[in-house]
Amino acid sequence: MQQKFFYILLLLLFSHCNGIKNIHIWQEGINHPLTFNDSLQIKYFGVGCMQITSGKRQVITDPFISRLSLIQTAFGKAHSDFLEIKKRLSSTEHTSFMLIGHGHYDHALDVPALDSLIPSNGKIVGSYSFKNQMTPFNLNHEFIVAETHFYKWIYCTDSTVRIMPIPSNHAPHFMGIRLYHGQYEKPPKKILTKTSQWKDGTIVAFLIDFLNNLQIEHRIFIQTSSASYFKDLQLEKEIKYRLPDVAVMNYYTLQSWMKKYSDETHETFGKQVIVCHWENFFRKWHQPVRLLKKWQCAKTLQLLQKKSDQFIVPMQGSKLSFK
């Protein structure tokens, strides 16, 4: 009964999502494939899902290209849409890491599908709970548990990419409630078929360095979860050493940051900031994009863009390039 109550509240909340007004949306390169050159390229698929490339090096974050309607999410089965994945995803042959911010379906549903697409030496990094959560899917790649590597660099096979997991958090969805909250202390007996089975587990952010002769060529900070902003002294030390070229931040985190530290500049995070997880992800790819929460999201995005034109709000499927 309690779970059905959650679903009814969800339906009420998201049924009022509306269109976008007075927000500049980055729409260039819609569904254009990534190219393997020296520029930093980010292809945004929605929520926290991105392909990030620099040269013949690639990182994929929070795999969620399939789209589930709100009805499917509440009452149906959660499964990947392989046709949509193949249609939207660029080449994955140079993927070094697949990074999972947390275990909710909208951040990780397509991990099993992408497991068959990334090269054999690619590594998956996520929480201990998520590792257990994936056990019934029999993933073929090395899984690195984030909690045992917090604030430590993890290198890919040829040391051209390194990532640092950083502890984060997840804000309540509404009324102090965190949906699908919990840990898998041991693997479930069967593969997950419902969205409610995709538990959040430990929440993780990431620092990503693309390296050339062990020197940093491009740096990206990734915070895809709806985390309340807090100052992480170890992360700040890393960022002061080398400011990220791009920071990808959840809009809720940025909203929290503006409330606490209104006088700070966006370069607290990086030279440029991409706002993620702002769109209504219950809509199919062919449907017009809408905000996830009209009354919160619109105001936040407008204030961010007023604060600095370096805040980028990308459309699903768009490609961004940085030198």
How far separated are the first and last CA of the chain, in Å rounded? 53
The tokens of 150 are what? 């917090």
Considering only residues 295 and 98, tell me which one the structure prediction assigns the higher pLDDT.
98
Secondary structure class of 298 (helix, strand, coil):
helix
| 218: exposed, middle or buried (Cβ count in 10 Å: 0-12, 13-18, 19+) | buried
For residue 3, the model assigns a pLDDT of 53
Q: What CA–CA distance (Å, rounded) separates 13 from 261?
A: 28
Q: Amino acid letter at 257?
A: W
State the average pLDDT for the chain.
Answer: 92
Residue 307 predicted with pLDDT over 50: yes
> CB within 8 A of 312, min separation 6: which ones?
26, 272, 273, 274, 275, 320
- Contact between 208 and 219 under an 8 Å Cβ cutoff? The reply is yes
**Residue position matching structure tokens 């009814």:** 8
- Contact between 245 and 270 under an 8 Å Cβ cutoff? The reply is yes
Burial state string for 16-28 with b = 16 or more CB within 10 A and e = fewer than 16: ebeebeebeebee
Residues in the chain: 323
Helices vs. strands in the chain: H and E counts, helices first: 9, 15
| Domains of the chain and any CATH numbers | 34-313 (3.60.15.10)
Nearest C-alpha neighbor of 52 from the set 234, 170, 207, 158: 207
Q: What CA–CA distance (Å, rounded) separates 252 from 171?
A: 9
Nearest C-alpha neighbor of 318 from the set 90, 70, 38, 56: 90
For range 169-197, the mean pLDDT: 90
For residue 19, the model assigns a pLDDT of 56
Residue 5 predicted with pLDDT over 50: no
For residue 12, the model assigns a pLDDT of 43
> CB within 8 A of 16, min separation 6: which ones?
294
For residue 32, the model assigns a pLDDT of 93
- Contact between 17 and 294 under an 8 Å Cβ cutoff? The reply is yes
Q: What CA–CA distance (Å, rounded) separates 69 from 119?
A: 31
pLDDT digits (tens, 9 = 90+) for 242-283: 999 999 999 999 999 999 998 999 999 999 999 999 999 999
pLDDT confidence band for 128 (50 / 70 / 90): very high
Angle CA(179)–CA(224)–CA(93) in degrees, nearest 5? 120
Q: What's phi and psi for 246, nearest 5 deg?
A: -140, 140
Residue 42: CB atoms within 10 A of its CB come to 23
- The β-bridge partners of 142 are 123
pLDDT digits (tens, 9 = 90+) for 205-252: 999 999 999 999 999 999 999 999 999 999 999 999 999 999 999 999
Angle CA(170)–CA(176)–CA(180) in degrees, nearest 5? 55
For residue 249, the model assigns a pLDDT of 97
Q: What CA–CA distance (Å, rounded) separates 261 from 243?
A: 19
Considering only residues 167 and 71, tell me which one the structure prediction assigns the higher pLDDT.
167
pLDDT digits (tens, 9 = 90+) for 138-156: 999 999 999 999 999 999 9
Considering only residues 21 and 121, tell me which one the structure prediction assigns the higher pLDDT.
121
For residue 18, the model assigns a pLDDT of 54
For range 60-85, the mean pLDDT: 93
- Contact between 261 and 287 under an 8 Å Cβ cutoff? The reply is no
For range 95-99, the mean pLDDT: 98
pLDDT digits (tens, 9 = 90+) for 44-62: 999 999 999 999 999 999 9
For residue 21, the model assigns a pLDDT of 76
